[in-house]
């Protein structure tokens, strides 16, 4: 078996996330054998039928599986711990259309959420319930409020066994994921049917969670405080929200229109996307990432040493960094491939050099 790979993220970003107090109680999926296997398959340029949008394979429910089962009437809360842990107990219809980003949200795993985006998960794709990742995250934050009510009357042993004995850290991790999605230009005006009405992220932040810092962030990123549909309207009896809405109106007027903060590059270099992968230039594929040839080795220890250069370039239409490989016998360029998966010529040339 190959050595387990590391998260496909800048090293310092991983260190910074792991140092956060709210990661203390989180065993990130990013370091698991399951993540390694999915990382290998998603990165492998010869498996063009597998992507970050399609490769979940039953990893669903996460921290919220018990609550999902409870709501589906599969068990009373105090009988949940006696339920089998096999996949047969999962209400699979709730997780249709999940990407690895949806899975990271359900796991309350910010580190894997970052990596999911780096691997190609789209921040505005909808799952089987019609939720964008941001709407899913906000609904799960509401679920935490419901869980708090339930476990308030549960014995400590049950809370610990269910992994819910410290919701404070889980709340903080979910907040970090929501922040990540908004910064990555998730659609802040997307809607979903929830409890019989069409709601927006701003509705969740203001009317459901009463998180006015999150509401301020959404407004800064262009959330509409007064949607046209009455069913989506934000209650205006909240003085704090009215103040935020007025601040937004003033800012938009002064700016001559909505100016959303620039999207950070999803390679997480720390630069804006427009100053990084979206400059039109090719960017070197990171040495420590898995090689695209499918060897399950680091690129620096595989094809890079065989004169195979792999580069990345932003595709605005698909909203992702496409990669290309070329075989270089300096100073002559022998072959170049700009497809989003290695062509047969690239693949054969690569392995002919081994």
* Domain of residue 46, CATH code: 1.25.40.20
* Residue 293 backbone dihedrals phi, psi, to 5 degrees: -80, -10
Residue 272 lies inside a defined structural domain of this protein = no
* 233 and 320 fall within a common domain: no
- Residue-wise pLDDT tens for the chain (354 aa)? 457 889 999 999 999 999 999 998 888 999 999 899 989 999 998 887 788 887 765 555 577 776 777 676 654 444 444 333 433 445 566 778 889 999 999 999 999 999 999 999 999 999 988 999 999 999 999 988 887 777 777 666 666 655 555 788 999 999 999 999 999 999 999 999 998 888 999 989 988 898 888 998 998 898 887 765 544 455 544 666 777 777 777 777 777 776 789 999 999 999 999 999 999 899 999 999 999 999 999 999 999 888 888 999 898 888 888 777 665 544 333 333 443 333 333 333 443 333
* 242 and 298 fall within a common domain: no
* 88 and 37 fall within a common domain: yes
* 218 and 287 fall within a common domain: no
Residue 40 lies inside a defined structural domain of this protein = yes
Give the model's pLDDT for residue 354: 33
Give the model's pLDDT for residue 196: 87
Half-sphere exposure of 244 (CA within 13 A, CB side): 28
List the structure tokens of 178.
């929501």
* 289 and 148 fall within a common domain: no
Which structural domain range is residue 116 located in?
Answer: 11-255
Q: Total structural domains in the chain?
A: 2
Q: Cα(276)–Cα(280) distance, rounded to whole angstroms? A: 9
Give the model's pLDDT for residue 92: 63
Q: What is 40-105 written as a DSSP string?
A: HHHH-TT-TT--TTT--TT---GGGHHHHHHHTTS--GGGGGGS--SGGGS-GGGGTT--HHHHHH
Q: Which of 237, 255, 273 is the last residue of a domain?
A: 255
* 118 and 49 fall within a common domain: yes
Residue 285 lies inside a defined structural domain of this protein = yes
* 325 and 242 fall within a common domain: no
* 247 and 110 fall within a common domain: yes
Residue 271 lies inside a defined structural domain of this protein = no
Residue 266 lies inside a defined structural domain of this protein = no
């Amino acid at each position: 078996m190959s050595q387990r790979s590391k998260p496909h993220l800048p090293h310092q970003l991983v260190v910074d996330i792991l140092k956060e107090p709210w990661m203390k109680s989180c065993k990130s999926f990013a370091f698991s054998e399951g993540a390694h296997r999915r990382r290998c398959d998603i990165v492998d340029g010869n498996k063009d039928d597998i992507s970050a949008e399609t490769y979940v394979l039953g990893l669903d429910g996460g921290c919220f599986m018990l609550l999902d089962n409870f709501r589906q009437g599969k068990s009373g809360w105090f009988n949940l711990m006696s339920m089998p842990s096999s996949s047969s107990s999962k209400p699979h219809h709730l997780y249709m259309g999940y990407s690895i980003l949806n899975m990271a949200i359900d796991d309350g795993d910010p580190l894997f959420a970052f990596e999911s985006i780096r691997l190609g998960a789209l921040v505005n794709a909808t799952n089987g319930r019609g939720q964008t990742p941001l709407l899913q995250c906000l609904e799960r934050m509401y679920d935490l409020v419901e869980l708090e009510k339930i476990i308030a009357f549960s014995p400590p042993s049950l809370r610990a066994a269910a992994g819910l004995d410290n919701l404070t850290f889980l709340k903080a991790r979910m907040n970090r994921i929501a922040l990540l999605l908004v910064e990555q230009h998730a659609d802040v005006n997307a809607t979903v049917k929830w409890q019989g009405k069409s709601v927006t992220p701003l509705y969740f932040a203001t009317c459901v969670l009463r998180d006015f810092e999150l509401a301020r962030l959404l407004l800064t990123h262009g959330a509409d405080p007064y949607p046209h549909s009455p069913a989506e309207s934000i209650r205006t009896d909240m003085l704090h929200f009215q103040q935020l809405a007025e601040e937004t109106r003033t800012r938009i007027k002064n700016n001559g229109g909505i100016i959303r903060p620039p999207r950070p590059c999803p390679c997480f270099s720390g630069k804006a996307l427009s100053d990084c992968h979206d400059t039109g230039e090719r960017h070197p594929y990171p040495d420590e990432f898995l090689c695209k040839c499918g060897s399950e080795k680091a690129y620096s220890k595989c094809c890079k040493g065989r004169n195979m250069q792999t580069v990345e370039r932003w595709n605005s239409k698909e909203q992702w960094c496409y990669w290309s490989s070329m075989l270089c016998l300096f100073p002559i360029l022998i072959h170049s491939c700009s497809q989003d998966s290695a062509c047969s010529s690239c693949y054969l040339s690569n392995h002919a050099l081994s």
